[in-house]
Structure 1
Amino acid sequence: MVMMHVVVAGAGGIGGAIAGEVALAGGEVSVIDAWADHVEAIRADGLCLVGPGPAEGRTARLPAWHTSESQQVAPIDLLVLAAKAFDNQWLAPLLAPQLATDATVISAQNGVNEPLLSQMLGPERVIGTVVLFAAAATGPGQVRLDWLPTLQIGELDGTLTDRLDQVSSALGPGIDVALSENIWGAIWSKLVMNCMSNPVNATLGGQARDCREQPGPRRVSLACGSEAVAIGQARGHHIEPVSGIDAERILVGGAGGPGADQLAADWEATAAELGDVKGSMPTDIERGHKTEIDSFSGFISREGKRLGIPTPANDAVFHMVREIEAGARSPGPHNLDELLRVLG
């Protein structure tokens, strides 16, 4: 099998972890990033990966390019988009000329990005992807992995193809890659989980596990999840379990229907799997960065309006995060009562 040239665009936590592990496993991989200090550090000293857990640091040597130098990158066989989802509008067209004729594109990002990428780069190039690990850039040239790097990939029409095997081989053995015949169900499951945690925690502060362990945040979390499941089912998706919990249970119990108490207990029991992860959106707010709220609660709100399905919990979280971004509100526990009032 011919080695694929993998290019990771956005070498932060997730992208840096993917690129570093592929390089350490002997793959042909380059990174492109807009953070000049990060690029220069990788060029000078390599990309240092630490974790998961107390693992010793390891350094990957690989080509690094600033986005302004993208035209110098060799033809791309596999493009891994790992910048923030809102950057796809300009990043995908920027890299399009560097794509090989039969290039494959995956989105190692939050949200539902495959339709937009299909429009911009061609539907024949795009396969679905779900990121199933957490990582963070801790400084120029440095990435911390919180979980083992794991991805789920699948053709958008649900077929199993040789291309999926090729992508899996190009990313492995450094990355654990699972093939899916229901990638839309997996993508939506990740979206439901994100809506239940990232934006809610962004309004309240604290850690991601708070939305599962604490009664008030948990109620908001489950309501957001119920709405997201309803939207996904209306779109025709068979949603995969969310942290091991059947999506139908979240739909019904999250709205206060039968099984609500057991659902709350089961959702609380999943908190330990999160460890001390804070979440990307609360971290973005702390750093004064733009969040991906449009890809989470905002997306559910827009789809709800389009489909005629009420989404009051996601609407409230969306507007609250927007106010926090604008400096009109601060994150913290004081926002909880307002969110609970929306739920009645």
Structure 2
Amino acid sequence: MHVVVAGAGGIGGAIAGEVAFSGRQVSVIDAWADHVEAIRADGLRLTGPSRQGERTARLPAWHIDEWPRLAPIDLLVIAAKAFDNQWLAPLLAPRLADAATVISAQNGVNEPLLAELLGSERVIGTVVLFPAEALGPGLVRLDRHPTLQIGELDGTRTDRLEQVSSTLGPGIDVAASDNIWGAIWSKLVMNCMSNPVNAVLGGRARVCREQPGPRRVSLACGSEAVAVGQAQGHQIEPVSGIDAERILVGGAGGPGADDLAADWEATAAEVGEVKGSMPTDIERGRKTEIDSFSGFVRLEGMRLGIPTPANDAVYEMVGEIESGARVPSPQNLGELLKALG
């Protein structure tokens, strides 16, 4: 099985490195030229969490315009930013083997687009359950042991899931699910409750859980996201151990709101000092994935006739920050709270 990881930043680099350490055949392809050259020269270095300290994986690395040189791909792991899928998937399509499998190790709900571009029979659902960050060319830091959840889009259990798990392991924990859509939406709900809100307020992930004002915005965003996901027919898995139905009702200020707020606050310790990908992207002047978080919930809400004022407000503010018309600041909280009514 030839594994190709497209986008070897934090998550993609961690996956590629662990697959390489397991002795599997894996290559990476990336648009970050310095990163590719560093991997070619000195290998892909992974740091933490491991008793071995910093480890170096030796594996083929390709610049994005070298895609025709890739050997046929049996398992394609797309780990680039979600907004790159529209051009990246068709670019790599000619290199896919006839029975190739494709997984999205990305934020957002990307499976429908990938199925459209690459064939629904090739795509399985995936949820990334660990944080990682590219610290510089050729160097990736893992904050937790790599863990993925995978599942067939129709909910069936197949031999293919076992094959993917075996191919990626043993350095990556891979769990199969018969409710992968519920898991994908659980991750989306959590991202809407944290990443974009942190980007607007300029804080770390725990702020949206510990402080009353940001927590109220966070829970309102979560409630709207759950409403949209349920309207699509998904049975959303718990979010940080909290039942999605509680977030739907309590996040909108309904029964159980106080208990929900207390339980959400209690989860702050699990995120530690993580900022999140979106605040980091803003700090580095990069395009954010807001269209895959609040923007996605907003558009689906409009399509289904479900109001999403909290996500609308966050979406608009992130856009203003990207354009330079606003800066991330705790002072943006007042406008967010006003949007909640």
TM-score (norm 2): 0.99
**1:290 counterpart = 2:287:** yes
Partner Cα distance (1:330, 1:281) in 2: 14
Letter paired with 2:44: L
State the match for 1:127 in structure 2.
124
Is this contact kept in 2: 1:9–1:31, CA < 8 A?
Answer: yes
Partner Cα distance (2:144, 2:253) in 1: 33
TM-score (norm 1): 0.98
Q: 1:235 aligns with which of 232, 235, 259?
A: 232
**1:258 counterpart = 2:255:** yes
Give the deviation of 1:55 after TM superposition. 6.0
Is this contact kept in 2: 1:53–1:146, CA < 8 A?
Answer: no
- Identity between Structure 1 and Structure 2 (%): 82
State the match for 1:306 in structure 2.
303
State the match for 1:11 in structure 2.
8
State the match for 1:52 in structure 2.
49
State the match for 1:94 in structure 2.
91
Give the deviation of 1:25 after TM superposition. 1.2
Partner Cα distance (2:292, 2:7) in 1: 17
Displacement over 2 Å in runs of 4+? 52-55
Partner Cα distance (1:262, 1:26) in 2: 48
**Across the two proteins, how many residue pairs are aligned to each other?**
341
Letter paired with 2:25: E
State the match for 1:138 in structure 2.
135
Correspondence list, 1:141-180, <5 A: 141-180=138-177
Question: In 2 relative to 1, CA 337–53 (structure 1 residues): closer, same or farther, beyond 3 Å?
Answer: farther
Give the deviation of 1:53 after TM superposition. 7.4
Partner Cα distance (1:224, 1:161) in 2: 35
Partner Cα distance (1:53, 1:313) in 2: 40
Give the deviation of 1:54 after TM superposition. 8.0
State the match for 1:32 in structure 2.
29
Secondary structure (helix, strand or coil) at the match of 1:123 reads coil
Partner Cα distance (1:57, 1:273) in 2: 24
Residue ranges of structure 2 left out of the alignment (5+ in a row): none
Give the deviation of 1:52 after TM superposition. 2.4
**1:198 counterpart = 2:204:** no
Deviation readout 1:254-307 (Å, 9 max, x if unpaired): 000000001001001111111111100000000000000000000000001000
**1:319 counterpart = 2:320:** no
State the match for 1:341 in structure 2.
338
Superposed CA RMSD in Å reads 0.8
Partner Cα distance (1:165, 1:252) in 2: 37
**1:246 counterpart = 2:246:** no
Residue ranges of structure 1 left out of the alignment (5+ in a row): none
Letter paired with 2:7: G
